[in-house]
Amino acid sequence: SEPAAASVLGVALNGAAMDNVAVDALAAGASTTLTVQFDAPPTGEYVLRLTPDAEDAVVESQEENQDYDLTLTVHPRMDLRHKAAPTVTVVEGALNGPWTVSGEIERFDGDGTVEVPLRLEVPNDNGGTLMLGSFSVTVQGQGYAVATWQTTIDGDDVIGLQRISREVVAVIDPYGTGAFVQESTTNDRSPAGNLDLLPIPDVQLDPPIAEPPKANSGDPVLWYVGISNVGEIPVRGTLEYSFEGIDYEDRIFLDAAEDMMWRPDDALPTALGAHDAVFEARYVPDSDSWDFDPDNSRVSATIEVVAPLRLSWNAPTLTLVDANSESAEAPLTPGQTYTMSIGVTSVETGPVNYTCDDGGTTVFEVIPVTIETRGQRATVSCTFVAQTGQTSVRLVPDDVDVSPVYTRAYGSAEVVDDSITDEQRSLRGLLSWAGLLVLVLIGVLILGVIITRDRDEEVERDIFEYCPSCDGELEGDEDKCPHCRFNLAKARLQFHECDACGESIPDLMENCAYCGAPQDVTSFFEQRKRQERKAQVEIELPVEEEEDDDVIVTGTEDFAATVQAFGYDEEDLEEDWDENMDLAEAQVTQAQGRLDAMEVDLDAMTEEELEAWENSVTPTLRSVKESFSGQDIDDIIASKGDVQALKDDGAELSASDAAIRERLFELTGEEGVLPGEKVRVDAGLTDSGLAGNEIEEATADFSFEDTDALPASPARVDTVDDELTPKRAKPKRRRSATRRRPADAEQEAPMAECGACGADIPADATSCSVCGATFE
């Protein structure tokens, strides 16, 4: 009923505000149409809310509940994805491809036909991605559809990559050029497949080695070439090589990672003349084999071939002429001049000098020879003077490799000297024969000395005899070897037949007595290990010095007072020491007597008897356990009689308990006062008024008479008691403290108790040595 001003229409999708739509002013009763445009959200259910006059620009009669909700359903769009990881196949043995890669893609919520671009990706060695050729696959059908794709990877596509196993991935629409829109692009990359780039075997040739490294013209050369298969499969091929313009071939078979040192069956000959010879080799794989890098399968090497001069003597051309150039023959006339000529044939060119001599110190002349063309012939001539008897002529080259030394000897006629008589000639002949005979005799003497000379070890064996079982030295009269206990007396009775002459000879003979053939003595006896006898080492025992009774032993000045502080008496200790010494000497004497009774002849025993006797020996002295038997805690308790177990009667016990203390006195043998026991004190307390036990009256007489003289020892009977003569006090002997044996205690005199002080005194004593009391 009223015109409305311009306003806006509010738009919200699932509560999220979108762009408002402007509404023009409307006249009263007028209407208008609005269009709301927005991008469809992902697949799902949505509510689109429209709110008129969202900014309250128009005054309305009803402001509430004017929103309009529209339910909106968004259906999914077409989506492409890979069904599985791509698979890679290759022909067996095709290390360089091609590799066939195949896979499948799926289409969801689509219809019709669509071309889908694809691309393969492989990681490179730098951490990046190698993009291989693109291709496309056609997908058609309604709703869900599946399409299969296939492509190939050539060896050129992966050239330069390290030959290892790599991942291969297929990507859908990698450049975004496809004529379709997908629901999602996060699944456009397929799972990774496996692309195995196996290493291609590479056959490598090492530089050739020639033997010898420098050859003479025409000499053969042996070549060595190292061949290696750098791969994981066997290879086979042909080694093509050439030397001095001649081609050769040799078949090569190499296992995986195998190395070999190749050489031709025969050495290769060199051409004539000085030149550089080239050796070339190339490995050619078979058509079904491999060689990754042909460049490292070619090698070559060059050696120097030298052509030194070589001359050969032509013996048929040898001639001999005299000074008149006339032919001469042996015998020659001593003192005359002759010329010997011989031809030579040459190989290669060069100069050489021949020295013509007589094989000694006489040089006739030096002949130079020069060969300028190959195959040239030459003549070597030497002029010499014939000597008496025989003349030797040698042609010696200055280079022994050019030709061998040529030697020729000519006999000479005898020259008669009229000045020498027949008698002189006879004497000279006799002296010559005598000198020759002397030389022969000297030679025979030297040869005899050498033949009869004994070696050091043979001389030693002549001086000593050796045991055939352990090779130990013998004096020669033993019946048993002192080193291994071998029975030599029995060995001297053994015989065997000589292998050379068959005669029976003793086994101990090193040479046959009949034919002199050597004998293997050790083969007839058991070999034993030689035992080295240890040399007896004498140890110097300390010399016992005689005891001087007049020497005062360093120690306490008053031994009696010192031992009395430990509860012993000096005289008792001395008596105990003497008794123990006598007892020990008697035991040692008894042990020595038992040893003397058991003495046997050890030298007459065999090794087994000696070992058995040593194992059966028992000691004669008592062991520590036997010496102290009866002194351990078990023996002490057993000597006390039956042991009674004191049970707990529930009463409180203490060390002062009379019953317990009495039992302790019985076990230990001590004497003491028990609690509650009446004690009699006879001395020391004279006051009857003191409280306590009853004190009786006592009278003590402390007077004593010393009328009995001490018994004199036999040593003192003849001693003159002279107060003016000083006497040297005899040092007191110290003895170790030893407790008295029970037998000694039984032999002691009966004791009594002093009535005055309570001290123990002999029963027949007339006075107390402690308090001085006298008794009637």
692-750 confidence digits (pLDDT tens): 445 455 454 555 444 444 444 433 434 444 443 444 444 444 444 444 444 444 455 67
Other residues' Cβ atoms within 10 Å of the Cβ of residue 55: 11
Other residues' Cβ atoms within 10 Å of the Cβ of residue 661: 17
Please give the span between the terminal C-alpha atoms of the chain, in angstroms, as a whole number.
172
Contact 738, 576 (CB under 8 A): yes
Place 381 in a pLDDT band, splitting at 50, 70 and 90: very high
359 CB-near residues (< 8 Å, 6+ apart)? 392, 394, 407
In whole angstroms, how far apart are CA 716 and each of 159, 551, 570, 711, 724? Answer: 132, 21, 21, 10, 17
Looking at 453-485, list the stretches that DSSP marks H as alpha helix, in order from N- to C-terminal side.
Answer: 456-463
Please tell me the distance from the alpha carbon of residue 523 to that of residue 525, in angstroms, as a whole number.
6
Q: What is the pLDDT of residue 252?
A: 94
Contact 235, 285 (CB under 8 A): yes
Q: Residue 150 corresponds to which tokens in the numbers above?
A: 């296939």
Please tell me the distance from the alpha carbon of residue 404 to that of residue 354, in angstroms, as a whole number.
11
DSSP-derived secondary structure letter, 618: -
Please tell me the distance from the alpha carbon of residue 669 to that of residue 113, in angstroms, as a whole number.
127
The arithmetic mean of pLDDT across residues 90-97, rounded, is: 80
Lowest-confidence range among 6-20, 49-63, 362-376, 414-428? 414-428
Angle at 508 between CA 503 and CA 512, to 5 degrees: 35
Strands 214-216 and 298-306 come out as: parallel
Q: What is the pLDDT of residue 653?
A: 55
Q: What is the pLDDT of residue 322?
A: 93
The arithmetic mean of pLDDT across residues 178-191, rounded, is: 87
Please tell me the distance from the alpha carbon of residue 224 to that of residue 241, in angstroms, as a whole number.
12
Cis peptide before 397 (omega within 30 of 0): no
- Does 310 have pLDDT greater than 50? yes
Q: What is the largest CA-CA distance in the chain?
A: 194
Return the higher-pLDDT residue of 96 and 69: 69
Please tell me the distance from the alpha carbon of residue 513 to that of residue 498, in angstroms, as a whole number.
9
DSSP-derived secondary structure letter, 84: S
Q: What is the pLDDT of residue 603?
A: 66
CA 222 to chain centre: 42
Place 277 in a pLDDT band, splitting at 50, 70 and 90: very high
Q: What is the pLDDT of residue 487?
A: 84
Contact 302, 261 (CB under 8 A): no
Buried b (16+ CB within 10 A) or exposed e, 353-367: ebbbbbeeeeebeeb
Please tell me the distance from the alpha carbon of residue 154 to that of residue 135, in angstroms, as a whole number.
15
Please tell me the distance from the alpha carbon of residue 521 to that of residue 468, in angstroms, as a whole number.
7
Highest mean pLDDT of the ranges 252-256, 358-362, 639-643: 252-256
Please tell me the distance from the alpha carbon of residue 682 to that of residue 677, in angstroms, as a whole number.
16
Lowest-confidence range among 35-39, 75-79, 514-518, 757-761? 757-761
Q: What is the pLDDT of residue 357?
A: 93
Lowest-confidence range among 77-91, 579-593, 654-668? 654-668
Return the higher-pLDDT residue of 210 and 184: 210
Lowest-confidence range among 182-196, 346-360, 378-392, 580-594? 580-594
The arithmetic mean of pLDDT across residues 746-774, rounded, is: 70
Its pTM stands at 0.36
The arithmetic mean of pLDDT across residues 267-272, rounded, is: 90
Q: What is the pLDDT of residue 455?
A: 54
- Does 773 have pLDDT greater than 70? no
Q: What is the pLDDT of residue 684?
A: 46
By CB neighbour count within 10 A (0-12 exposed, 13-18 middle, 19+ buried), where does 264 fall? middle
Return the higher-pLDDT residue of 740 and 527: 527
**pLDDT single digits (tens) 663-679:** 777 777 777 777 667 66
Contact 428, 421 (CB under 8 A): no
Highest mean pLDDT of the ranges 76-80, 274-278, 612-616, 766-770: 274-278
**pLDDT single digits (tens) 478-492:** 888 888 888 888 888
- Does 683 have pLDDT greater than 50? no
Q: What is the pLDDT of residue 514?
A: 84
Q: Which residue has the tokens 């038992």?
A: 594
574 CB-near residues (< 8 Å, 6+ apart)? 733, 735
